[in-house]
Structures are given as C-alpha cells and as structure tokens.
Amino acid sequence: MIFQSNSPAPLVLEFWLTIAFTTIPGVLGGITNGVSMFLKEIRAKPEEWPPNGNLSAPAFFLAQALSGLGGALAALLVTLWANRFPDPFFETKSWLTLVCTGFVAGYVANRLLPAIADSLYNRLTRLNEKTDKVEAKAEAAKQAVAEANDMAEVAEKNANRAIQLASELVRTSDYLRAKDFSQRRTTLTQIARLSELLLWFPANRTLNILLARLHDEAAGDCLSAIAVLTAFVEAKTKAGEGRDEHTADAYWNLGNYFEEERKKTGDMAFRAKAIQALRESITRVPIYYNDLAKDDDFNELRESPEGKALMAESKRLYEEWLKNNPST
C-alpha cells in the first residue's frame, strides 16, 4: 500500500493480492481447525458425527472454512486499525506476514470474531457518542449565534424606536406650544405617530400626556384624552409602578379632563370621577394639594360639597407629609 503512481493498476493488484494472501490462508486455517475438532470429537462422541449423526461432514467443514474467512478478514481489519500493515508490500516478509496472520486468524476464528465484533461495536458506540456531542455543540453554537443575532436586531430596533420617540415628542411639544391647530390633517397625523409609538412605550409618561393633550387641545376630543391616560394608569399598575409620581401626574390630568367634560355636558358623573382622580393623585403626591388649592380650572369643584371634602382630606394628607418631610 505504498505505490506512488497515477495509474490505478498497481493499487488494484495490491488490493487483490492482500485479499488473497489473507483470506485463502484464513480458509485453510478454518478447515484445519475443523479437522482437529473432527478428530477430537469423533472419538468422544461418535454418535453425533457422520455417518451416525445428523450433521454432514461437508457442511461442517464448509462452516469452518467460512468462519476462517471471517477471522482472516477480522485480523486484517485489526492490522489496519493498528497501522501494522506490511510496508513495503512487495517483499517476501510482507507476504509471509499476511499469510501467517490469515492462517492463524482463520484457525482461531471462533474465538477471534466475537472479540473483534465487540471491539468494533465499542468503537462505533464511542464514535456515535462523540458525533452526538459534536452535533449537540454545533447545534448549541448555532442557536447561540441565532439568539445573539436576534438580540442585536431587537436592540437595533429599540434604539431606532427610542430615537423616533424623542423626535416625535419634541415635534409634538413644539406643535402644542404654537397653538396653531387650523390644519386638522396635521393634528391627526401627529396623533397617529404618537399612537403607533404607544404600542412600544405604553408606560412612557411624556408620550401619554402629550398624546392626551393632542386629543384634547388640538382635536377637541377630551374623551379620547381620558382614554389615553386611563390606559396609561393601567399599564403602570400592571408593571407594579402604580404608586409613583408619573401615575399621580396622570390622575391629575384625568381630574382636569373629567371636570372639563362636566362643564361641557353638565353631567355630574364626571364631577365624581374628577374628585376620585384628584384624590388618587394627591394620595400619591400630597404636595399637589397646593396646586389643587390654586388651580382656576377647579374653582367650581372646590366650592362643591364633595370638593370641600376633598380639600379637607387633601390638606390632612399634605400636613402629614410635611411632618414626615420637615426639610421640604
């Protein structure tokens, strides 16, 4: 197996010579083993051997020959595994090595084949285990790369959305500050932009308050403003942030919108909702009592019986807050 030639002929010749030098002696070794068994056992149990038994002699020796053939091929496999194949090949020593190996392997095939079969099985099992481990690692690496790519993509999208949010908030602030709402299409476009961002930033205080102001001041739709801030309060509560200052700001603005609707419709149910919203706001931030006491939008509310009760309750909360925060 050392030919260095572009022609396949030398390799083919070497292949068949290897098979012949290994298997023919192997068959002879198997037959020889069969003869020894035959002579030994026929003396001990003559009734089990031809012509007295049921086993024919030709069938017995054929089986031994085939067993010897298998043993010789198994020995050749072991020789290749161990990198012990004769080299150079075209030498008397190499051929004698193959012949002797084949004959001996054929003679002991009955014991050799099970051992080699077990060894081959163990090798294949270890190979499969290694293959499974390599495939598992490759799959894990592939999944990690995919997850990293997904995370990078999500991070990029979030960054782009954050930039878009900042831009739209500035645009909306300028639009509300200018107080020119004559172009209704401009108002609706800005509402649509902020509403789309609301899907990604449902708990953003500035976004929700500006969107509510757009509905109320620019579109004249106070009920939509109430809906926006109500959804904001729900999102904050769901996130476990329903007691913070941002939620208090939302309730304060809801109080304004409810009272505004009360003035428009005369429906006192909106007054009750305004009272409750303001109570929720001042409960969270008691200092807002000062704003409630001065805000002209709540003049009528403060003079109502329920408004007076709210003012008394708010003052008490504010004074308790001052006791706990004397440096304020």
Task: Please say whether the beta carbons of 230 and 254 come within 8 A.
Answer: yes
pTM of the model: 0.57
291: left (phi over 0), alpha (psi -120 to 50) or beta: alpha
Reduced to 3 states, what is the DSSP secondary structure of residue 5?
coil
From 267, 246, 249, select the one nearest 258 (Cα to Cα).
267
Q: What is the pLDDT of residue 121?
A: 60
From 29, 25, 57, select the one nearest 41 (Cα to Cα).
57
The listed range with the strongest mean pLDDT (4-13, 45-54, 146-155, 283-292) is 283-292
pLDDT in tens, 177-204: 999 998 999 999 999 999 999 999 999 9
Question: What is the C-alpha separation between 69 and 6, in angstroms, rounded?
Answer: 32
- What are the residue boundaries of the structural domains of the chain, listed by start? 9-128, 161-219, 243-328
**50 — pLDDT class (breaks 50, 70, 90):** low
Q: What is the pLDDT of residue 51?
A: 45
Question: What is the C-alpha separation between 59 and 3, in angstroms, rounded?
Answer: 41
What distance separates the 2 farthest-apart alpha carbons in the chain? 130
Question: What is the C-alpha separation between 98 and 210, in angstroms, rounded?
Answer: 93
Give phi and psi for 97, each to the nearest 5.
Answer: -60, -45
